[in-house]
């Protein structure tokens, strides 16, 4: 939004501005110090039907300067905006001539739209609600993750705190059926035949325990009628 003529620069950077009814409108315009003698004005509209919004020598109740009495910053504030304030505003530098002031430079214009306050508030409220929902979902997700991690840690702690006989070690699947080869009694007898006879209390320190899972039911045609499955077995190993 700058025009340059003989070193003078006028900047009107805003293309479009939206403001709610009753709010304050800010229009930005700055200039360089080099330039002809003459005022800077704000005009609404262009051509013969333009309206002077601000003049350095006039009185405008709703218009104030952002930087009072500045020679380079001509930004203005228009308070209590109404629907009739919608339009295109131009920052204009005039040059003083014998027959009157002439336009020396002007900005490209700022298009101002005025909206209902409820509409703007509704958009802001919807944005806030949407952001709050996202934040709530994020917090719930984090809380769920923390709960699952804590629950898993509690289960592991309880498992480690139980006696070994409760079956908290790695499960070991053993097929143990009464009346079939390799029954627990036969395995135990086979192991015992190779072990030295020791009745001291130290033997208990070398007993290993296994958590045995239930076995699937065997087909009827491969089991004798009087065979029964056992879910548990004891394993004894030699002391080192």
89 and 129 both lie in a single domain: no
Query: Whole-angstrom Cα distance, residue 202 to residue 106?
Result: 103
Nearest to 36 by CA among 91, 104, 92: 104
**Cα-based distances in Å from 57 to 38, 74, 106, 222:** 11, 13, 19, 113
On whether the pTM is more than 0.85, the answer is no
* Per-residue model confidence as pLDDT tens for the chain (240 residues): 444 456 889 999 999 999 999 999 999 999 998 788 899 999 999 988 899 999 988 889 999 999 988 989 999 999 999 999 999 999 999 998 888 889 999 999 999 999 998 755 667 778 888 889 899 999 999 998 988 888 887 766 665 655 544 554 444 444 444 444 444 444 444 444 444 555 545 555 555 555 656 666 656 555 555 555 555 555 666 665
93 and 108 both lie in a single domain: yes
98 and 137 both lie in a single domain: no
**Domain termination site, one of 115, 143, 160:** 115
Segments forming the whole domain that contains residue 124: 119-151
> With DSSP H G I counted as helix, E B as strand and the rest as coil, what are the percentages for the chain, rounded to 5?
30, 25, 45
The reply to whether 23 falls in a domain is yes
């Amino acid at each position: 939004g700058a025009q340059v003529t003989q070193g003078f620069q006028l900047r009107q950077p805003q293309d479009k501005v939206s403001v709610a009814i009753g709010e304050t409108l800010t229009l930005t315009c700055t200039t360089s110090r080099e330039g002809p003698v003459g005022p800077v004005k704000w005009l609404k509209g262009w051509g013969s039907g333009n309206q002077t919004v601000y003049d350095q020598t006039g009185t405008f109740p709703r218009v104030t300067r952002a930087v009072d009495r500045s020679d380079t910053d001509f930004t203005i504030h228009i308070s209590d905006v109404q629907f009739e304030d919608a339009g295109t505003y131009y920052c204009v530098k005039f040059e003083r001539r014998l027959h009157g002031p002439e336009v020396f430079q002007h900005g490209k214009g700022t298009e101002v739209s005025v909206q209902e306050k409820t509409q703007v508030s509704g958009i802001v409220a919807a944005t806030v609600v949407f952001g709050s929902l996202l934040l709530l979902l994020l917090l719930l997700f984090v809380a769920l993750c923390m709960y699952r991690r804590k629950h898993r840690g509690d289960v592991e702690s309880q498992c480690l705190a139980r006696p070994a006989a409760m079956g908290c070690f790695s499960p070991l699947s053993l097929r143990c059926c009464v009346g079939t080869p390799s029954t627990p009694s036969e395995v135990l007898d086979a192991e015992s035949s190779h072990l030295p006879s020791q009745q001291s209390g130290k033997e208990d320190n070398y007993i290993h325990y296994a958590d045995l899972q239930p076995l699937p039911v065997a087909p009827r045609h491969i089991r004798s009628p009087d065979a029964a499955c056992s879910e548990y077995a004891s394993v004894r190993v030699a002391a080192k």
